[in-house]
């Protein structure tokens, strides 16, 4: 493992900011922590970078103990690179000067500089000043500078947060590709779930200093392990249901069955449960015996429209329908369920 963050606790004074947090990253993997403001994302990065001591637990970087109860390797000896939302480049240096700042004196600077200029598609800008560069180019210089000393781990703190939407999506793909080409191990924190899904090999939801599920973006979306992850990740609703057998759950909109066993020690047949309904689980069934529901909200997204629907019994759920069906708030439709991944949670957790 290139990063092992094991059962770490951190306090600011008497206030706990991280509680028993564990996750890891293999060499060459990109991890992302998603969470709202105040969840503890920056604190995790600062603990890894060596800017904050931990109270208990262990942080290992490249197999070596960097933080422990009685161990605190200083930040400058951790071989960790950082990239922030503000590129924080030196305005008085040109691109080459900024990148070389990160290259250790002993190494062959010109070879490494040429490699990084090529990798970060900056070969034509080596002599350019920072103010002559676009926002995207500045971020690529910041990335090249962080990668220059070949860090064991790259940390990214909301690096695309101040970019506009179009640039953000372009930068995200570019930065991911550069990190992969370099074979670096990286950890990014963000509050943006779409960004996390596009960037991560593995990600998790951070909430009040604890981590809920450390998994692939696919599993986080389709197989959330708790109601908190289910509601934080993606659109969707938790609707009431009853387990009618090991593989079936009954809802107001019909019985949904799963290949996987749904019952657990906490949820047996007969128990009331909450069933996760993603917008793509709900399909239009006008005239086909669907359940009647009324549109209470709509968000136009171009190719499709996300509708908020309310059934006669008051259950709210979401449906993502092609935008050729242009419905308005108050319209009534019939819907049915087509659920690929059935996810249930106890009605009371
Ligand atoms: P995030 O990066 O997810 O927004 P932070 O790691 O910055 O969250 O903060 C986690 C919690 O710790 C918050 O409640 C925040 O107010 C608190 N906190 C962060 N930095 C300090 C600090 N230097 N001193 C005291 N409390 C802090």
Cα 106 from Cα 332, distance rounded (Å): 72
Residue 216 · residue 201 · CB < 8 Å: yes
Cα 24 from Cα 11, distance rounded (Å): 21
Residue 250 · residue 271 · CB < 8 Å: no
How confident is the model at residue 325, as a pLDDT? 84
The domain spans of the chain are: 3-227, 235-346
How confident is the model at residue 11, as a pLDDT? 96
Q: Does 43 contact ligand 1 (Cβ within 6 A)? A: yes
Calculate how far, in angstroms, residue 208's C-alpha sits from the geometric centre of ligand 1. 10
pLDDT, tens digit, 9 for 90 and up, residues 243-295? 999 999 999 999 999 999 999 888 999 999 999 999 999 999 988 889 999 99
Indicate the CATH number for domain 235-346: 2.40.50.140
Q: Which of 8, 17, 54, 156 to mutate to test the pocket of ligand 1 (most atoms within 8 A of CB)?
A: 17
Q: Which of 18, 38, 42, 193 to mutate to test the pocket of ligand 1 (most atoms within 8 A of CB)?
A: 38
In a 3-state reduction of DSSP, which class is residue 187? Answer: strand
Cα 309 from Cα 329, distance rounded (Å): 9
How confident is the model at residue 349, as a pLDDT? 64
Indicate which atom in ligand 1 lies nearest the CA of residue 46. Answer: 6
Q: Which residues of the chain carry a pLDDT beneath 50?
A: none
pLDDT, tens digit, 9 for 90 and up, residues 160-209? 887 777 788 888 999 999 999 999 999 999 998 889 999 999 999 999 99
Q: Does 38 contact ligand 1 (Cβ within 6 A)? A: yes
Fold classification of 3-227 is: Rossmann fold (3.40.50)
Q: Does 47 contact ligand 1 (Cβ within 6 A)? A: no
**Closest-CA residue to 152 (of 82, 78, 58, 101):** 78
Indicate which atom in ligand 1 lies nearest the CA of residue 35. Answer: 3
Q: Please name the residue that has the structure tokens 């939407």.
A: 165
Q: From the CA atom positions of the chain, what is the Rg in Å?
A: 24
């Amino acid at each position: 493992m290139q990063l092992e963050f094991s059962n770490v606790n951190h306090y600011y004074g008497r206030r706990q900011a991280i509680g028993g947090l564990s996750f890891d990253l293999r060499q060459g993997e990109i991890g992302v922590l998603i969470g709202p403001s105040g969840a503890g994302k920056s604190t995790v990065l600062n603990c890894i970078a060596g800017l904050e001591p931990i109270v208990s637990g262990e942080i290992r970087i490249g197999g070596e103990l960097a933080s422990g109860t009685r161990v605190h390797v200083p930040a400058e000896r951790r071989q960790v690179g950082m990239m922030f939302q503000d590129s924080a480049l030196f305005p008085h240096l040109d691109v080459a000067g900024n990148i070389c700042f990160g290259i250790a004196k002993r190494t062959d600077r010109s070879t490494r500089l040429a490699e990084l200029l090529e990798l970060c598609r900056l070969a034509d800008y080596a002599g350019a000043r920072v103010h002559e560069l676009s926002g995207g180019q500045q971020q690529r210089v910041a990335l090249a500078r962080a990668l220059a000393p070949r860090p064991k781990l790259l940390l990214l703190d909301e690096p695309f947060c101040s970019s506009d939407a179009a640039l953000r999506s372009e930068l995200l793909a570019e930065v991911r590709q550069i990190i992969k080409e370099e074979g670096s191990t990286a950890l990014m924190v963000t509050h943006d779930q779409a960004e996390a899904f596009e960037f991560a090999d593995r990600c998790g939801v951070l909430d009040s200093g604890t981590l809920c599920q450390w998994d692939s973006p696919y599993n986080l979306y389709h197989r959330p392990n708790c109601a908190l992850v289910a509601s934080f990740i993606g659109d969707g609703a938790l609707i009431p249901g009853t387990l009618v057998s090991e593989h079936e759950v009954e809802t107001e909109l019909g019985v949904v069955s799963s290949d996987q066993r749904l019952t657990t020690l906490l949820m047996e047949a007969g128990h009331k449960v909450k069933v996760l309904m993603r917008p793509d689980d709900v399909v239009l069934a006008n005239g086909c015996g669907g359940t009647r529901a009324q549109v209470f909200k709509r968000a136009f997204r171009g190719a499709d429209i996300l509708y908020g629907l309310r059934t006669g019994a008051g259950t709210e759920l979401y449906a993502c329908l092609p935008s050729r069906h242009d419905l308005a708030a108050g319209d009534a439709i019939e819907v049915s369920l087509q659920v690929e991944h059935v996810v249930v949670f106890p009605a009371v957790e």
